[in-house]
Amino acid sequence: MKTLTLTIAEPWFSMIRDGKKKEEYREIKDHYFHLLYNYAEMQKFFGVPPQPYHFDRPQVFHTKQLQKNFDLLVLRNGYRADSPKTTFRNPKIRIGTGRPEWGAEPGKQYFVITWEA
């Protein structure tokens, strides 16, 4: 099983654990870009390393060959091995805006990660 593990701070961790927050946001940065997408396939698709202007065409990032597919999402509240964690099935990734009450800045684009309970 392919697992995506992300560290998440309070109060967001508790909100997710309690079922109040239904998605997590990550900034569009190289680190998450490499973590969430098949970088080699993106280079083939674009002919060059992907650049920020490619995010103007979000349909490209929903192409299945470009996204990594994860079976599980593990959200941990801290970096220690015994940190509290919660696990979800079938995480989905998209690029879009988030909800301010869940920590997103209004109008800002993020990697948006959703899951099944």
DSSP code string of 32-82: HHHHHB-HHHHHHHHSS---GGGGG-GGGGG-TTTB---SEEEEESSSSTT
* Residue 29 in tokens: 């940065």
Tell me the C-alpha distance between 18 and 79, whole Å: 21
Q: Could you report the per-residue pLDDT of 35-80, keeping only the tens digit for each?
A: 888 777 777 776 666 665 555 555 555 555 678 889 999 999 999 9
pTM metric for this prediction: 0.81
